[in-house]
A and B are shown apart, each in its own frame.
Chain A
Amino acid sequence: MEKMTKPVQLLQGNAACARAAIAAGCRFYGGYPISPSSEIAETMAKLLPRVGGKFIQMEDEIASLAAVIGASLAGMKAMTATSGPGFSLMQEHIGFACYTEVPCVVVDVMRGGPSTGLPTSPSQADVMQARWGTHGDHPAIALCASSPGEVYELTVRAFNLAERLRTPVILLLDEVVAHMYEKVDLGRLAGLPVEDRRKPKGAPGKLEAYAAGEDGVPAMAPFGEGYRYHVTGLAHDSRGYPTQDPAVVETTQRRLQRKVDRCRKEIVSYELLQCEDAEVIVFAYGIVAAAARQAVRQARQRGIRAGLFRAITLWPFPGEELAAAVKQAKRIVVAEMNLGQMTGEVERAVGKKKTVKTCLKANGEAITPDEIFSALQAEDACHA
């Protein structure tokens, strides 16, 4: 308890995530061990009961997210954490949570893949899975941190967005960020605002559980408090009852999209480093952005007008913001620890007039500042 209250602490990324979750009001964690995310579960197992929360280790990732959704329906802020293979298993329930509008936070600590891949090595190859891993259409919100301190901040934000918009929010970390220790100023972060889901107004009665107002987000009643409503993964109407009426189905689909779209500005965040006059701008996120920052400094020292666009929100993709940031730049280097998953998004955002190069690495090692520096120098892409 003493440690929790010390303002500045040396914290591991995963531990920061757990601490932040509790600070954000998370009181339920359901998970299944998988490297390199396990310390989140371990920390939650230790800390949650101390604040009256519940930790449960489920039999697999599918069950984990199911339990999380169940707990959330019962009124608890809830999360799970996993890594690539487990994240794949969770996809169905991410879709379920989207469609049934159950707030929850899913942390994916990315590791080398595909398949079992490189369990203890970093990767960024789940970014598209975070967007398109489920079937069907629905909006996705995914945040990506590049340091333990930011893990803390984004975890809180993930909960806030989930609760505000009644939707699952994905927090993408990578092995390096998850495992590294940094000084984290808990004193400062304690002041981060915490949002809670909106409960229906008035006494329990017949609840039109999925009737939403202007913001497209229905008020959410916890189970067990007399509202007695139905939740189903089937296409449903505003009462929550299954329907196949095309008009009703379409209305719901559009509302789900709209409720996120209209908050896009609040959701999207990014960081710019010396972009104003940059000729070449690195697009990076997560741990790669840390290397990129060093590379940009190196480049500037060598007289290259380099800049960095660090995406913090990956989904919705900060396309407009990127386009604005690279307006004056000639070249964009997309650096990511995969074979170019975000490159397409970047190309789409910046338009055909810009040269988009890549600095890609998918072998389990982190991209180094030198590698990005080389890419900044070179006309051609650097495939590290």
Chain B
Amino acid sequence: MATTTLTPAKELLSGNEAIARGALENGIRVATGYPGTPSTEILETLARYDAEHYVSWSPNEKVALDVGVGGALAGSRTLVTMKHVGLNVAADTLMSVAYTGVRAALVIVTADDPGVHSSQNEQDNRIYARFAEIPLLEPSDSQEAKDFVQQACEISERFDTPVLLRSTTRLSHTKGMVSLGPIAPPPVLGYERNLAKNVLVPSNARVRHEKVLERSARLREFAEESSLNRWERGSNAVGVITSGMAYQYVKEVLPEASILKLGLIHPLPLDLLRKFAASVQRLLVVEELEPVIEEQLKAAGIAVEGKEFFPRLGEFSPERVRQGFQKAGVLPSPPKNMEPEKGLAVQENLFRPPALCPGCPHSVPYLVLKKLNALVVGDIGCYTLAVYEPLAAIETTLAMGCSIGMAVGLQKGGDGARPIVATIGDSTFFHSGIPPLIDALYNNARITVLILDNQTTAMTGGQEHAGTGKNIRGEKVRTIEIAKLCKALGVEHVQGVDPYDVAAVFRTLKSAINHDGVSVVITNRPCVVSPVTIRTTPYAVNGKECDACQICMNLGCPAIVWTEEIHQGQHKVTIDARTCMGCAVCALLCPTEAIVALANDPARRAV
């Protein structure tokens, strides 16, 4: 982990840490964002540095970008971070700030997730750059990640444009060596009143659109010259156009090829590309996800190959890139693999899906909702994991904050056969749950909104938010109370419940479901792993008493597993004291005296 006090010349930094470092070295004064894997650590790293810069979590990406735009207009270099889908939320602002331009630099980090490691889709945000007509930079290792921040700032200010800096999960989460530079104090340019530029009334907007196109033209010229794009000469048999992480794989797999490594993805240096194309016998584009470069090249009349060999789906890896080159005939085909089928069967059966943590306060509400036969409209957060067996309670998950609005629609358009419950986390509620709740109230929906308030942004590792009473730096700030907020909006039925009290959860949810109108239930237990671990005395199974009814296993708690001992055809269970958090819910459910608290934690011994 990077530390602030000692600054050696080189450090092992993840892509995200490197971006943060880049921001510090380049005088970023305002940094905002909303947590989202794989972007989260950028702001977290920034917040750990004790400097003048302002770092904050915003309730959502659009707000973060708005703050960022303001920061830039005020004359401070600004960094706004989010995951790929976050940019959809911020897209409204993005599309227009592209018109107004910035005063100081506005760098927007979009962290894409090829392979969908931790997201709801694998959209390719390079397309946003074309859409908004703004530049997009794509580093391919930690060093570049840092360096590109500087470039991005300079481009942003030179061309008066917001700049997208695209990372991917692999880049963000790979640690590599980074040479460190001095941390620069952030300058402030000061605000400048400019109504024609900053007020997008139609008459101004029409003018600004023109300016955007002019800017694009200048940017294209810049691209041809920029050091961001690098021609690595090699064999002229094959030329490869690539960028980002794919570049590393290409280098690994096909080190002898000529490579045009693009750092500036939009706009493309078409002249340079033509020259490169002309220099090689065969031209391939190796890009993760969408054929963004490939199609532009084809549109420009440059003959390239790409997506016919390299998949549009999923994350690249050296072997996938190798397979692509093999498919393209660039590399010899491998001998037939030995017994791939057997290997596959083993992989399929080696079952270890992610699950809600031991002691997770979300488990019981979903256990209950399933029993209540509710149509559970999910949202984005850890609780999405309740879609898996055994909880298997969630029936839809779409995007941040969708649950409440969808619930309204499901109710209004539905047959009323099942109660409709939107489940949403505290952070997601602040992100984009409030307007749809207003909609539900305004339009008199008959839905229940279950706000799973675990007092953190758990899925991304425990970030603070408006409801936690602390800011990103851990300083005490105002708490926005969800219950009060709901009541203020006009929700008549607002109830809190302890999610570890199974009976209370049943009781509360049932009464909420029976309420004719919008009802809100708010759970009150904190996440047991983030931001701090809450571990009490673990529980254990007294095998003698266990009747193998498996009711405890319905919680899906990872600490509870089968033993070899069989009772009436069923496995008895045991609790892994190493992972048990001591929430006691399984003990509450156990219909015998089998699950008991341990006086002494067997996982730890006095040292």
The answer to whether A and B touch directly, with their CB atoms under 8 angstroms apart, is no
